[in-house]
Structure 1
Amino acid sequence: MDIESLGVNPDHVALARAVSEIELEVAQLGWDRPSTVYALVPSSTILADPAGLPAAIRQDLEAQVQAFPNHLTAILQEELPGQRIEESLGYLSWPEQVVGMAVSMERVSVPPEAEKDAPSDPDAAISYYATHPDRQEFRIVAGVLRDGQSWSAIRSRDLDDPDKVAQASDLVPDLTAALLATFTDEEE
């Protein structure tokens, strides 16, 4: 799906652009990378704070905002609680200026018939899936905005090409629901 086909909702276009940019940057780092989490902040908010931005980054960001006022900046979150991304999501909460979040993760998929032969021991199961001859490996980058909009990009290791990245709003609904939950107040 073409990002620009999202229509007139500039926030959704900004999210789709941010997810696509993250996917391209992560792809340049190669495969077998740890999961990462990003805060999505309006670039205009970052520019409003006069301190902390080197001149070259400020100029680049100003150009991005001038070309697209809803531009979002992805800020890598380096220290996360928990050892797995699924654990970390349960501990995340975001300050007001963070309007969205995204994650990048790699996953292995096997045919359903292979799952019935998987060992029950979690460590043995990981090894089983990682070495299964019919496994397929994917990189998923999913992002959400506080208002519930989502966008995802999925790249297969077998078709590792920027022109072969699947993108849409509803590719990984369980993951995007988990990401949205990080914006839910405990009172809700």
Structure 2
Amino acid sequence: MPAVPTSGPDGPATDQQEALLAALIELERHVGSAGWDAPPRLFALVQTDVFAAAEPALAAELGLRTTAEGAAPAALTAIEQEDFVPTGDLLGDLAALEWPATVFGCALSAERTFLPAGQEGDLPEDPAAAAAYVAAHPARQDIRVVVGADRAGNVHGVARLVSAPNELLGAADLVPGLGAALAHTLV
């Protein structure tokens, strides 16, 4: 996957699309540096130029560069929401969330276990039994996703499989339900 898209489904990628993808790639590296088996983590995405103007000393301490200093247009800075405590119902947790206007976007990292296509034939209907079945299945795959949305209407996700640690996957519709839930928090 290229680090920054040169085009999207509707033509050349916009600065905001490129900034969102760059922020998600950086977040995946950041979250991944702590290893696996981590709880979901929530991040506010603020425009770096706006952040630097509001908090110049902190921006300098963090080493943030503005557009005037050569940063990419529309660059985003991630701020972890350390008070975010997921209840086990991520979509429900996000449904109760609203961001102030100063937040341009948001992102969430989460780890999941799934079965490859064709392996889910005997999956029980009971959610607890299905989770236990997947966890014990020899073909299970563990994945970390980082999905983000912004106020410009962009949604994107990146993912890394435990079984392919050097490969980063990405797509606008990687986790559509999670992307839509994040976008809804910005309305």
Contiguous gaps of at least 5 residues in structure 2 = none
Q: What is the aligned counterpart of 1:30 among 18, 32, 35?
A: 35
What's the TM-score, normalizing by structure 1?
0.85
**Aligned mate of 1:109, from 110, 114, 130:** 114
Amino acid at match of 1:5: T
Please say if 1:80 is aligned against 2:81: no
Superposed, 1:137-148 pairs within 5 Å as 137-148=142-153
Aligned counterpart, 1:100? 105
> In the aligned structure 1, how far is the partner of 2:175 from the partner of 2:68?
29
CA gap 1:52/1:129 in 2 versus in 1, 3 angstroms: farther
Residues 169-178 or 21-30, more deviating: 169-178
Q: Deviations over 1:38-91 (max 9, x none)?
A: 11001111111247627531xx11367622242101111122365022221111
Q: Secondary structure at the match of 2:29?
A: helix
Deviation at 1:4, TM superposition (A): 4.2
Deviations 1:80-122 (A, max 9, x none): 3650222211111000010111111111111455544334443
Aligned residue runs from structure 1 range 33-182, under 5 A: 33-50=38-55, 53=58, 55-57=60-62, 60-62=63-65, 66-67=69-70, 68-80=72-84, 82-84=86-88, 85-111=90-116, 114-161=119-166, 164-182=167-185
SS of match in other structure, 1:40: strand
Is residue 81–residue 91 contact of structure 1 (8 Å, CA) maintained in 2? Answer: no
Distance 1:8 1:125, change over 3 A: closer
Cα distance in 2, alignment partners of residues 121 and 141 from structure 1:
27
Does the Cα contact within 8 Å between 2:48 and 2:66 map onto a contact in 1?
Answer: no
Number of residue pairs the alignment of both structures matches: 180
